[in-house]
Amino acid sequence: MAVTGVVFVAFVFIHMIGNLKVYGGPESLDSYARWLREVGYPLIPHGGVLWSLRIVLVVSLIAHVGAALALWWRGRRARGRHRRRRLRGFTAYAARTMLLGGVIILAFVIVHILDLTIGAGVAPAAHQHPQPDGTIHAYANLVASFSRVPMALFYAVSMVVIAIHIIHGWRTILQDVGATGRRLRRVWITIGVLVALAIVVGNAAIPLLVLAGVIA
């Protein structure tokens, strides 16, 4: 759970940095999308790095979901009919909603892939795949997708859910590895909060700016 969680935090953070290319205009984001498919070429086959990353993410997703269900079931069996009560604050809320948050994030991943990667959603964005001349319409896809209010709001809310998930998961990693130092915990938790906030601000702002007409 901890190892795959770190993999996902790293991916989401790096993906967010890539998404910021949208502020440079269509050519900036489209060039970045082409680079993802060409990185390492010709030493590595065209799209080889991208597909390798996708395989790692799929394996990590399966392992993460499996670990989450196993931990949830162990917790249910261990507590029996009794539940810990009088838990207050953000930490308690995040802990109680981790499973629900995970389900929402999984739904978001599926919808996002169908809409912007495969182009097989109910109303997918246009020009999903590279054109015969190699042109990739990543910017147009993004604007087409987030011009729909439900999709834009779903994306923005999903970023908040992901941030909450990261904050709690990042905090529990130290428990998993047995680190108990107070100073280390404070620094580690601060890093997790900053990463989560960066992801929310960096990603959630994009669909809202599309709806506002700033990104068009």
- Report yes or no: 32 and 18 within 8 Å, Cβ to Cβ: yes
pLDDT tens for residues 66-120? 998 898 888 878 877 766 666 566 666 666 778 888 899 999 999 888 888 776 6
pLDDT of residue 207: 95
Residue 194 has pLDDT above 90, yes or no: yes
pLDDT of residue 169: 87
pLDDT band at 52 (very low <50, low <70, confident <90, very high): very high
Cβ-proximal residues to 134 (8 Å cutoff; 6+ apart), any chain: 34
pLDDT band at 157 (very low <50, low <70, confident <90, very high): very high
pLDDT of residue 84: 61
The dihedral over CA atoms of 73, 79, 80, 86, expressed in degrees to the nearest 10, equals -120
Phi/psi at 110 (5° precision): -65, -45
pLDDT band at 151 (very low <50, low <70, confident <90, very high): very high
As a three-state string, the secondary structure of the chain is CHHHHHHHHHHHHHHHHHHHHHHHCHHHHHHHHHHHHHCCCCCCCCCHHHHHHHHHHHHHHHHHHHHHHHHHHHHHHHHCCCCCCCCCHHHHHHHHCHHHHHHHHHHHHHHHHHHHHHCCCCCCCCCCCCCCCCCCCHHHHHHHHHCCHHHHHHHHHHHHHHHHHHHHHHHHHHHHHCCCCHHHHHHHHHHHHHHHHHHHHHHHHHHHHHHCCCCC
pLDDT of residue 161: 93
pLDDT of residue 83: 64
* Higher pLDDT among residues 209 and 89, named by residue: 209
pLDDT of residue 85: 62
Closest CA to 29 of 123, 163, 139: 139
pLDDT of residue 57: 94
pLDDT tens for residues 105-149? 999 999 888 888 776 655 555 454 555 455 678 898 899 889 999
CA quadruple 99, 63, 197, 53: dihedral sign: negative
Residue 208 has pLDDT above 60, yes or no: yes
CATH architecture for segment(s) 2-211: Up-down Bundle (1.20)
Global confidence as pTM: 0.83
The per-residue pLDDT of the chain, averaged, comes to 85
